[in-house]
Structure 1
Amino acid sequence: MLDVLPLAGMTVVSLEHAVALPFATRHLAEYGARVIKIERPGAGDFARAYDDVVRGRMSAHFSWLNRSKESFAVDIKVPSGRAAVEKLVAGADVVAQNLSPGAAARLGLDAAGLLERYPRLVAVDLSGYGPSGPYADRRAYDMLIQAESGLVSVTGTPEHMAKAGFAAADVAAGTYAAQAVLVALLRRERTGAGAALSLTMLDAITEWNGYAVQFAEHTGRAPARAGVGHPSIAPYEAFTTGDGDSVLIGVQNDREWARLAAGLLRRPELGEDPEFATNRERVRNRARTDALVAGVVGALPTAEVTARLDAAGIAYGRVNEMADVLTHPQLAARDRWVEIDSPAGPVRQLRPVVEFPDAPPRLEPVPGLGEHTEKILTELGYDGAELSGLRADGAI
């Protein structure tokens, strides 16, 4: 069925490491593209060694980000290795890189340089800050970008700021990179023209943090840190039930507040009380609003709380631990888990977020370092003697 996937027949060559670009190219692979991951011989993508929690042999990051790819281990700083990569690039539809600042340009593998040689190519540079400006030469990692973008300043509790609990800047940039490649390929189908694209982690996560940016633009201050609550809506908070469970209740508008007051609190008059009837007043009286809800929720078993919320049509969610997510009934009911092979053995992972009903996604193993090197070189026309020469050079 792979031949009916939308990117079937496309080849993506990616000089990638860490999270942002591997996140993008994994999605391209799942939709049918052949993704060839360029890695350094001996060490590979440094994300392979972030930890060894996958059966003591592979990092959780690498397992998550690299299924359905081929690993081509070659030293691009060795002339013969660089020549092999050039042969590979010449037949590619997409070439992407997130190397250290300036490294790709020195090797002639930056997007602009590639497009000059291959006008139909879609070439992507993904960086922390971009090729110009005072931060152009800075190394960039996810947590640093979260800090620079202001995300850390609005995340956490009133007393303590925090970073997001996942690589938010990386994932944001990877999402935009995959989107940009798809749009550029569509444009190429229509015009025949390739594209040299540049995107940054800072731009991506600042866009995702757009509410806080707009809030600061128009008030001169940042939204208050509110833990798991919401700085501009009340009640929107986690409350502890009589069973000790934590349930996050979110009221989005005044009609919902009236339903919550009648259905959960069993005090319908609060729906019209001028101190609580509007969100502006509930936020102004946040402590009292939350205390009303907490008093009722804390006196009831979880089953009664959720039954009342369901009957009233109020949005809520259990505050789960990650172990709970592994057995989440909704994920199980929708068959969201799949087993993927890897160098560490079979691993359970989530299926792609979007799938075509008539074309199952490409879900193939996580590659071992250099697993496909000789296969790819043979496809490029290298014979046994030439492969021996590459080994002698230290290129592979």
Structure 2
Amino acid sequence: MLPLAHIRVLALEQAVAVPLATRHLADMGAEVIKVERPKVGDFARTYDSLVRGQSTYFAWINRGKKSITVNLKHPKGQELIRELARTCDVLVQNLGPGAAQRLGLGPQEMMAINPRLIYCSLTGYGSTGPYRDKKAYDLLLQGEAGVIAATGTPEAPAKTGMSIVDIAGGMYLFAGILLALLERERTGKGRYLELSLFDAILEWMHVPLLYVMHTGRPFPRSGQRHNLIVPYGPYLCRDGTINLAIQNQDEWRRFCAIVLEEPGLADDPRYADNQRRLENRHSLESYIEQKLSTLPLVEVARRLDEADVPYAIVRDVTELPCHPQLQARSRWMEVDSPGGPIAMLRFPIEADGWDPGPQRIPALGEHTRQVLAQLGLSDQEIDQLEREGAI
């Protein structure tokens, strides 16, 4: 049995962060009821249509869920949410600032209905403070939290290539829900959790924060290479690019002796420790790349293996579907969807008995009738709710 097979989750969710958290809950066996707007759905459904007619984001973070459509602005739609909350262990929402409370679906109301309910709110900046009413999306928060300022080259800052703020928020929300479920086993009581995307990404910004607070200098951008460790990053070989990660003096000495075949370089006063290598990074990195650019990638990799120096190949995303490690470990699975089967990666944590089995990305409202019937509503009552615009 999957570890969350007994857990029921009501998700008033949209976009990326909360759906990511609830997809992980679904992967581990939770019944996740995704509440979407009638006829429109989660706006992430229409980001693009590249995955068999579905958006890349929606396909990634919505497998294994049940989709129901409910009009949260309709009084009867609100009542349906309250009735569902009575049957659920977790309610999670990332509606607009203050929207849940205005709809009568805030934590006080819902936890009064179900004292064992774990109610989770994900906001942009938190429910207090001068930014509490600001809307927040990943790119906006990358800028506000200094991620863009800390990323890119010295000449040009850059955003990250994936939705790092949303991912941070989703993973902390996933962890918070698990912690609250564990606590409930001891107390028998529900819990209100609040998480902001701003706080989540700032936790990940601790190194740049500590750097500027203790040096008084801007955090240095170094492109694809490490800000504070040298040599650490990609270097061109004759026919490809290798990623080095030299973390200590022993690795540095072996790198010089075996890979560069220049053992004396390890004791050069300019490069004798990481601090001096950092101060003289331009000359050192240029010299390393000059040496490696004369060698084929396979030979550089052989020498790095012999020297026991950490490295990896810099690959294009187009190479990942056929990555040998994914193939060897059977990391791909087939997920059903309204547009047909899709290859997706399995849940990252492996344990015996934790395979969720066949999963499906739901069509909009695919499970509305099934879920409402479980509340005791007849087909005629469901039809009437649909005519009234409540579902």
By the TM > 0.5 criterion, same fold? yes
Contact 2:212 2:218 in 1 (8 A): yes
Aligned-partner SS, 1:196: strand
The residue number in structure 2 matching 1:21 is: 18
User: TM-score under structure 2 normalisation?
Assistant: 0.98
1:272 aligns with 2:271: no
The residue number in structure 1 matching 2:111 is: 115
The residue number in structure 1 matching 2:154 is: 158
Deviations 1:164-211 (A, max 9, x none): 111111000000001000000110011111101100000000001211
**Alpha-carbon distance in structure 2 between the residues aligned to 1:130 and 1:363:** 37
Cα deviation, residue 259, structure 1: 0.6
From 131, 135, 139, the equivalent of 1:135 is 131
Aligned-partner SS, 2:257: helix
What residue identity is the alignment partner of 1:360?
A: D
**Alpha-carbon distance in structure 1 between the residues aligned to 2:79 and 2:318:** 47
Counterpart mapping for 1:295-334 below 5 A: 295-334=290-329
Q: Residues 222 and 361 (structure 1 numbering): CA distance in 2 closer, same or farther, change over 3 Å?
A: farther
Q: CA RMSD in A?
A: 1.1
The residue number in structure 1 matching 2:283 is: 288
From 198, 209, 219, the equivalent of 1:202 is 198
Contact 1:110 1:125 in 2 (8 A): no
Contact 1:68 1:362 in 2 (8 A): no
Deviations 1:38-88 (A, max 9, x none): 000101000000001112x11000000000000011111111111112111
Cα deviation, residue 362, structure 1: 4.9
Contact 2:125 2:132 in 1 (8 A): yes
The residue number in structure 2 matching 1:213 is: 209
1:173 aligns with 2:161: no
**Alpha-carbon distance in structure 2 between the residues aligned to 1:222 and 1:374:** 56
What residue identity is the alignment partner of 2:90?
A: V
| Higher alpha-carbon deviation: 159-168 or 210-219 | 210-219
Structure 1 stretches of 4+ moved >6 Å: none
Aligned-partner SS, 2:116: coil
1:192 aligns with 2:188: yes
Counterpart mapping for 1:39-188 below 5 A: 39-55=36-52, 57-188=53-184
What residue identity is the alignment partner of 2:28?
A: Y
| Higher alpha-carbon deviation: 108-117 or 349-358 | 108-117
**Alpha-carbon distance in structure 1 between the residues aligned to 2:190 and 2:274:** 50
Cα deviation, residue 255, structure 1: 1.4
Q: Residues 112 and 153 (structure 1 numbering): CA distance in 2 closer, same or farther, change over 3 Å?
A: farther
Cα deviation, residue 221, structure 1: 2.5
Q: Percent identity?
A: 45
**Alpha-carbon distance in structure 2 between the residues aligned to 1:132 and 1:116:** 23
Cα deviation, residue 36, structure 1: 0.2
1:31 aligns with 2:28: yes
Contact 2:67 2:362 in 1 (8 A): yes
Contact 2:82 2:110 in 1 (8 A): no
1:224 aligns with 2:209: no
Deviations 1:259-318 (A, max 9, x none): 110011100111222221211111111112112211111000111111011111111111
| Higher alpha-carbon deviation: 138-147 or 288-297 | 288-297
Aligned-partner SS, 1:147: helix
Q: Residues 300 and 326 (structure 1 numbering): CA distance in 2 closer, same or farther, change over 3 Å?
A: same
Deviations 1:326-379 (A, max 9, x none): 111111111111110011111111100113213323551000000000011111
The residue number in structure 1 matching 2:383 is: 388
Structure 2 residue runs without a partner (length 5+): none
**Alpha-carbon distance in structure 2 between the residues aligned to 1:136 and 1:280:** 41
Aligned-partner SS, 2:265: helix
Aligned-partner SS, 2:135: coil
| Higher alpha-carbon deviation: 288-297 or 185-194 | 288-297
Contact 1:37 1:72 in 2 (8 A): yes
Contact 2:115 2:190 in 1 (8 A): yes
What residue identity is the alignment partner of 1:166?
A: M
The residue number in structure 2 matching 1:250 is: 245
Q: Residues 200 and 362 (structure 1 numbering): CA distance in 2 closer, same or farther, change over 3 Å?
A: farther
How many corresponding residue pairs? Answer: 391
Aligned-partner SS, 1:163: coil
Contact 2:82 2:113 in 1 (8 A): no
The residue number in structure 1 matching 2:338 is: 343
User: TM-score under structure 1 normalisation?
Assistant: 0.97
**Alpha-carbon distance in structure 2 between the residues aligned to 1:325 and 1:221:** 38
Contact 1:239 1:249 in 2 (8 A): yes
**Alpha-carbon distance in structure 2 between the residues aligned to 1:164 and 1:363:** 32
Deviations 1:215-254 (A, max 9, x none): 12211223200111011111113111111x1111121112
1:377 aligns with 2:391: no
